Amino acid sequence: MKRVYPNKDFCIGCRLCELACLTAHSESKDLIIAYTEERLTGLAPCKAVYENGPVCVSLSCRHCEDAFCVSTCISGALYKDKVSGKTMYNESKCVGCWSCMMACPYGAIKRNPVKKKIIKCDLCEGREMPACVEACPNAALVYEDRDE
């Protein structure tokens, strides 16, 4: 299954991936409206750039095979898709208990405090290539299948 693999040797911390992710998941699909207006309704990127000195990296859901978040979800909103292998999220079932956010040791789940739902990477359902990978100017995010 194709995943987005982050390379911390070449991430330059520009955060264009976060902006692209935000836009791709917005209603307007327009960066300016997404950033200045939609964020006020709780819209946030699924990607987060972390920095430690000169090193930085952009991380999002790993779509783990044995997902900790799926194991903690009390409503079944998070589940593994049998066909694609992705960790899927059904927003309508989510009750905002934040158990998944607590359980994910990769910090991949974020809170939307306005909607009381979570935000998690969906590998850009419906797009040919995840927006973050497209936006990265330094090939620090790679979209490929590395499963054996």
Partner 1 sequence: MLFKPLSQTFHDFIIDRDKDLCINCKVCMRQCSYGAHFWDKARQCVSHDNTKCVGCRRCEAFCPTGALNIRYKQSEFRQNALWRAEYIKNLYKQADTGGVLLSGMGCPKPYPIYWDNLLLDASQVTNPSIDPLREPMELRTYLGSKPDVLSFGKGKGGVTLKTELAPQVKLETPILFSAMSFGAINFNLHIAMARAATETGTLYNTGEGGLHESLYKYGKNTIVQVASGRFGVHREYLNAGAAIEIKIGQGAKPGIGGHLPGEKVDARVSETRMIPVGSDALSPAPHHDIYSIEDLRQLIYALKEASEYKKPVSVKIAAVHNSAAIASGIVRAGADIVAIDGFRGGTGAAPTMIRDNVGIPIELALAAVDQRLRDEGIRNQASLLIAGGVRCSADVIKAIALGADAVYIGTAALLSVGCTLCGRCYTGKCPWGIATNDAKLAKRQNPEVAAKRMANLIRAWSHEIEEMLGGMGLNSIESVRGNRDKLRGVGLNQVELDTLGVKPAGR
Partner 2 sequence: MKYVIVGSGVAAIAAVEGIRKFDAKGKIVIVTEEEVPTYGRPLISYFLAGKIGPEQLSLRPESFYRDLGVEVKLGTRISGLDTKAKKITTEDNKKISYDRLLLATGGKPFVPPIGNIEGPDVYGFTTLAHAEALQDAAGDLKKAVVVGGGMIGLKAAEGLSGRDVSVSVVELAPRVLSAAMDEISGNLLARRLEEAGVKIFCNVSAKKIKRAKNGKVQGVVLSNGATLSAGAVVVAVGVIPNTDLAKAGRLKVGRGVVVNEFLQTSDPKVYAAGDLAEVRDMLTGEAGVIPIWPNAYSQGHYAGKNMAGAKVPYPGSMPMNSIAFFGLPTVSVGIVNPKEGQGFEVVKELNEEDQTYRKLVFRKDKLVGYVLVGDVDLAGLYTGFVRFSLPVDDEIKEKLIHGEPSALLWPDEFFSQQWNPGAATALGSI
Could you list the residues that contact partner 1 (CB under 8 A)?
9-16, 19-20, 31-32, 35-36, 53-55, 137-140
* Distances, alpha carbon 116 to alpha carbons 41, 58, 94, 111, 123, in Å: 11, 24, 9, 7, 22
Q: Which does 146 bind (CB under 5 to 8 A by kind): partner 2, partner 1, none?
A: partner 2
Q: Which two tokens stand for residue 93?
A: 């079932």
**81 is a site residue for partner 2 (CB under 8 A):** no
31: three-class secondary structure by DSSP: helix
Q: Which two tokens stand for residue 97?
A: 């208990």
Binding mask 16-35 for partner 2 (x = CB under 8 A): --------------------
Q: Which residue type, as a one-letter code, is found at position 136?
A: C
Binding mask 43-72 for partner 2 (x = CB under 8 A): -------xxx--xxx-x--x---x-x-xxx
**97 is a site residue for partner 2 (CB under 8 A):** yes
CA-only gyration radius of the chain, Å? 15
Dihedral angle at the C-alpha atoms of 55, 61, 67, 70, nearest 10 degrees? 140
CB of 100 to partner 1, least distance (A): 28
**Binding footprint of partner 2 on the chain (CB under 8 A):** 5-10, 50-52, 55-57, 59, 62, 66, 68, 70-76, 79-80, 82, 92-93, 95-99, 101-111, 142, 146
